[in-house]
C-alpha cells in the first residue's frame, strides 16, 4: 500500500478548475519529485494534500485512509508536514520559539529541536534571532526544521530552494539529500531540476493541471522531449 496517494484529484479556486485529475503515489521511505513550470498547479496539489484547498473531487489517501474531508489541522496531526512555498516564517518569533511551538513527538520522535540544530548548525547559532532578522537561506532552514520537529510521516516541500543564492541552494540540497538517506518520505516540488533529479527516485511532471509524465527520475533525465516541452530545459 502507498503511504500517500492521490486518486483523480480535481481542485478549484472558485470556478477555476486547476487540478484536472491528478493521481500520484508515494511509497514509504521514498522521495518523489514534482516538477513543472510556474502556474501549472504544483502548489495547488500540495494545498490539496494538506487541506488548505481541499479537492472538489477525487481522493487523498494516507495509508489507505481517506483524508480529503479532514481539516488541515487533522491532516497535520495524522503526520503530514509542510514546508510551504515562500517559507512563511513569523518575523517576530525567534528561531527557538518557531521550533518549540511546532515540536511534537509524533510516532518515531527522532526530530527534536536539538536534532534540527545538528542538521542546521547555523540555526543553533541564531536561535535567539527573530524570524525577520534571518537571511532567506536561514528562513528556509527554519521552515524545514519547523516541519521536521512535528515528526511527520510525509513531508511536503514546496520549492525549498526558490530564491536562494547558489551556495545556500547547495546547503539546503545537501540537507534534503540527508533526509532522503534517512528514508523520510518526501514529496519535493522543485524548479531546480538537477537537485530534484539528484535526490528523488521517481518524478512527476505537471502541465496545466495534469500529470504529463510519471516515471523513474533517471528516465526523466533521459527524456529530452518532455524536459524540453514541459520544463524548458
Q: How is residue 39 written as a grid cell?
A: 502556474
Closest CA to 213 of 198, 197, 186, 16: 197
What 3-state class would DSSP assign to 65? strand
Q: How is residue 37 written as a grid cell?
A: 513550470
Contacts of 90 (CB under 8 A, 6+ apart): 98, 131
Closest approach of Cβ 28 to ligand ADP, in Å? 25
For residues 56 to 85, the per-residue mask of contacts with Mg ion, x marking binding by CB under 5 A and - elsewhere, is -----------------------------x
- Binder to ligand ADP among 4, 22, 31, 44 (CB under 6 A)? 44
18, 34, 144, 152 from 22: Cα distances, Å: 10, 12, 26, 23
**43 is a contact residue toward Mg ion (CB under 5 A):** yes
The binder of 41, among Mg ion, ligand ADP, none, by C-beta within 5 to 8 A per type, is ligand ADP
Closest approach of Cβ 74 to ligand ADP, in Å? 22
What 3-state class would DSSP assign to 233? coil
What gap in Å lies between CA 121 and CA 98, rounded to an integer? 16
Closest approach of Cβ 208 to ligand ADP, in Å? 9
- Residue 191 is classified by DSSP as S
- Binder to ligand ADP among 8, 17, 39, 218 (CB under 6 A)? 39
The binder of 13, among ligand ADP, Mg ion, none, by C-beta within 5 to 8 A per type, is ligand ADP
In degrees, to the nearest 5, what angle opens at C-alpha 97 toward C-alphas 93 and 100? 150
- β-partners of residue 34 are 189, 204
Closest approach of Cβ 17 to ligand ADP, in Å? 10
Residue 16 or 92: which CB sits closer to ligand ADP?
16
In degrees, to the nearest 5, what angle opens at C-alpha 208 toward C-alphas 207 and 209? 95
**41 is a contact residue toward ligand ADP (CB under 6 A):** yes
- Binder to ligand ADP among 8, 13, 73, 118 (CB under 6 A)? 13
Q: What residue ranges bind Mg ion (CB under 5 A)?
A: 42-43, 85
Q: What residue ranges bind ligand ADP (CB under 6 A)?
A: 13, 16, 18, 36, 38-44
Amino acid at each position: 500500500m502507498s503511504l500517500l496517494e492521490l486518486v483523480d484529484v480535481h481542485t478549484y479556486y472558485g470556478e477555476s478548475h486547476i487540478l484536472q485529475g491528478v493521481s500520484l503515489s508515494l511509497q514509504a521511505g521514498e522521495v518523489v519529485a514534482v516538477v513543472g513550470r510556474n502556474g501549472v498547479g504544483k502548489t495547488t496539489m500540495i494545498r490539496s494534500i494538506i487541506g488548505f484547498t481541499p479537492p472538489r473531487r477525487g481522493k487523498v489517501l494516507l495509508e489507505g485512509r481517506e483524508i480529503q474531508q479532514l481539516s488541515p489541522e487533522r491532516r497535520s496531526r495524522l503526520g503530514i508536514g509542510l514546508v510551504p512555498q515562500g517559507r512563511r516564517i513569523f518575523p517576530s518569533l525567534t528561531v527557538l520559539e518557531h521550533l518549540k511551538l511546532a515540536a511534537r513527538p509524533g510516532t518515531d520522535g527522532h526530530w527534536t529541536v536539538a536534532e534540527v540544530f545538528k542538521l542546521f548548525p547555523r540555526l543553533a547559532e541564531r536561535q535567539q534571532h527573530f524570524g525577520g532578522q534571518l537571511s532567506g537561506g536561514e528562513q528556509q532552514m527554519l521552515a524545514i526544521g519547523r516541519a521536521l520537529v512535528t515528526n511527520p510521516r510525509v513531508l511536503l516541500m514546496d520549492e525549498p530552494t526558490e530564491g536562494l543564492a547558489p551556495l545556500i541552494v547547495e546547503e539546503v540540497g545537501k540537507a534534503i539529500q540527508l533526509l532522503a538517506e534517512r528514508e523520510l518520505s518526501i514529496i519535493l516540488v522543485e524548479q531546480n531540476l538537477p537537485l530534484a533529479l539528484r535526490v528523488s527516485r521517481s518524478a512527476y511532471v505537471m502541465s496545466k493541471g495534469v500529470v504529463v509524465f510519471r516515471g523513474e527520475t533517471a528516465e526523466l533525465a533521459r527524456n529530452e522531449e518532455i524536459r524540453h516541452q514541459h520544463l524548458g530545459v
